């Protein structure tokens, strides 16, 4: 029989740092998406699970109000979560995640064009 551990969203999950498989910080948990069985929309009273960690551009929403459309929120599938402790650790490297697409786009299109921008300081040892 598998054991279960009780966690509370605000106490243990929200705003926690998300680390990828290499221990690199990815994002912080902004919200959790709830889904029903088979990926159906969550219904009151029926079985509901966490489907994904949402890591959205919440700063603008907090400053100016409103809400980011769900389709526009970058997400990390809950299946990729390996350990929940002081941080939430994933079993996949961050390059495989869509959540960092803004950073990857800036790296390829802006930072990479700056002279010296493709230099990897960690490769120098």
Query: Of the candidates 90, 91, 109, which has an alpha carbon nearest to the alpha carbon of residue 101?
Result: 109
* Cα separation, 74 vs 58, whole angstroms: 11
Which residues between 37 and 66 bind other proteins (CB under 8 A)? 41-42, 44-45, 47-50, 54
Residue 76 pairs in a beta bridge with 53
Kindly state whether residue 4 participates in binding other proteins, applying the rule CB under 8 A.
yes
1 lies in the site for other proteins, by CB under 8 A: no
| 120 contacts other proteins (rule: CB under 8 A) | no
Given the complex with other proteins, which of 57 and 117 has the nearer CB atom?
57
Rounded to a whole number of angstroms, the distance between the first and last alpha carbons of the chain is 47
Q: Which of 19, 26, 76, 97 binds other proteins (CB under 8 A)?
A: 19
Q: Which is nearer to other proteins, 83 or 118 (CB)?
A: 83
Among the listed residues 25, 57, 60, 83, the single contact to other proteins using CB under 8 A: 83
Which residues, other chains included, contact 101 with Cβ-Cβ below 8 Å and sequence gap of 6+? 74
């Amino acid at each position: 029989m598998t054991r279960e551990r009780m966690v509370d969203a605000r106490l243990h999950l929200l705003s926690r740092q998300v680390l990828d498989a290499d221990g690199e910080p990815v994002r912080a948990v902004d919200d959790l998406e709830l889904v029903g069985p088979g990926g159906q929309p969550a219904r009151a009273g029926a079985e509901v699970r966490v489907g994904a960690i949402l890591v959205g551009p919440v700063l603008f929403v907090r400053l100016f109000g409103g809400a980011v459309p769900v389709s526009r929120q970058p997400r990390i599938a809950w299946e990729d979560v390996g350990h929940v402790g002081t941080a939430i650790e994933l079993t996949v490297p961050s390059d495989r995640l869509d959540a960092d697409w803004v950073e990857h786009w800036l790296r390829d299109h802006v930072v990479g064009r700056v002279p010296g921008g493709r230099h990897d300081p960690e490769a120098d040892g």
